[in-house]
């Protein structure tokens, strides 16, 4: 197991994990690893290449020739930045189906563990505290009401210039959470020893302060 500092932040879609995790990483001088971006990058490539993800051979072939990495806090797919491409509503609607595939999870979890062995990290995702780093020194499970999460995602998409519908986003987020929670492999779960933080009606600063306080206190 890693001897570096690992801060695991898990939770459902749109709970504000990435914003909070990014700030916590700055404060504690760690790398920030957005594992959702890694799953999104693979999903994006599958869509681009019209890969049938239920065909094991096709999927394995794609995985064999795919490299997902981070450089300067940005996700790289085969060496190319894909930060915007992976966050479209289309990718959000397919990513969970790609993320439940064993071969995909094995590849990405191996990469995530390797990063955590090399540098101190704040890693956000669904299964960091339960599967990727069950021995992480700090574990948080960050959540918020579905209403608020949909509202935040709606504002984010509008700001990026997408023609988003609040009801569609609400439905997509609920569906994705259900899918992520009910899958067989590494489902979305709060680790028993993770600290639960409900961010509903709370500001980012407030949540960051609570997490920092809990880390410093222990
Ligand atoms: O940003 P958002 O909350 O919408 O989700 P994300 O963190 O970008 O994750 C996208 C999807 O990747 C999730 O809905 C999961 O299906 C999958 N994922 C996963 O299976 N395991 C992780 N550690 C992170 C993400």
CA–centroid distance, 39 to ligand 1, in Å, is 7
The two tokens of residue 43 are 């999903």
Burial 199-218 (b: 16+ CB within 10 A, else e): beeeeeeebbebbeeebeee
Grade residue 12 by pLDDT with cuts at 50, 70 and 90.
very high
Q: Which of 99, 153, 170, 183 to mutate to test the pocket of ligand 1 (most atoms within 8 A of CB)?
A: 99
pLDDT reported for residue 102: 98
Residue nearest to atom 5 of ligand 1 (CA): 13
pLDDT reported for residue 218: 83
Report the pLDDT averaged over residues 95-102: 97
Q: Which of 9, 36, 42, 92 to mutate to test the pocket of ligand 1 (most atoms within 8 A of CB)?
A: 36
pLDDT reported for residue 163: 87
Residue nearest to atom 8 of ligand 1 (CA): 36
pLDDT reported for residue 1: 53
44 CB within 6 A, ligand 1: no
Measured from the CA of 43, which atom of ligand 1 is nearest? 12
Report the pLDDT averaged over residues 173-193: 96
User: pLDDT per residue over 15-57, tens digit each?
Assistant: 999 999 999 999 999 999 999 999 999 999 999 999 999 999 9
Q: Can you tell me the distance from the alpha carbon of 134 to that of 125, in angstroms, rounded to the nearest whole number?
A: 13
Within its chain, how far is the Cα of 88 from the centroid? 15
180 CB within 6 A, ligand 1: yes
The two tokens of residue 90 are 């289309």
87 CB within 6 A, ligand 1: no
Residue nearest to atom 10 of ligand 1 (CA): 36
Report the pLDDT averaged over residues 87-93: 92
- Order of strands across the sheet that contains 68-71: 68-71, 74-77, 80-81
Report the pLDDT averaged over residues 69-91: 94
pLDDT reported for residue 144: 97
Q: Can you tell me the distance from the alpha carbon of 147 to that of 170, in angstroms, rounded to the nearest whole number?
A: 7
Q: How many other C-beta atoms are found inside a 10 Å radius of the C-beta of residue 121?
A: 26
Q: Is the pLDDT assigned to residue 154 strictly greater than 90?
A: yes
Report the pLDDT averaged over residues 101-107: 98
Q: Is the pLDDT assigned to residue 169 strictly greater than 70?
A: yes
99 CB within 6 A, ligand 1: yes
CA–centroid distance, 159 to ligand 1, in Å, is 21
Q: Whole-model pTM?
A: 0.95
The strand pair at 74-77 and 68-71 is best described as: antiparallel
């Amino acid at each position: 197991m890693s001897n570096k500092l690992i801060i695991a932040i898990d939770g459902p879609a749109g709970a504000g994990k990435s914003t909070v995790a990014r700030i916590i990483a700055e404060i504690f001088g760690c790398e920030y690893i957005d594992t959702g971006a890694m799953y999104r990058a693979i999903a994006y490539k599958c869509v681009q290449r019209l890969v049938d993800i239920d065909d094991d051979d096709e999927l394995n072939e794609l995985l064999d020739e795919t490299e997902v990495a981070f450089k300067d806090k940005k996700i790289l797919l085969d060496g190319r930045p894909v930060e915007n491409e992976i966050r479209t509503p289309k990718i959000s609607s397919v990513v969970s189906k790609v993320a439940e595939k064993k071969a995909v999870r094995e590849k990405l979890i191996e990469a995530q563990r390797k990063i955590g062995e090399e540098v101190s990290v704040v890693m956000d995702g669904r299964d960091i505290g339960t599967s990727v780093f069950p021995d992480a020194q700090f574990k948080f499970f960050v959540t918020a009401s579905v209403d608020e999460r949909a509202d935040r995602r709606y504002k984010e998409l509008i700001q990026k210039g997408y023609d988003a519908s609040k009801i569609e986003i609400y439905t997509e987020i609920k569906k994705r959470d259900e899918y992520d929670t009910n899958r067989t492999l590494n489902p979305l779960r709060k680790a028993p020893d993770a600290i639960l933080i409900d961010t509903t009606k709370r500001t980012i600063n407030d949540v960051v302060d609570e997490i920092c306080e809990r880390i410093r206190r222990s």
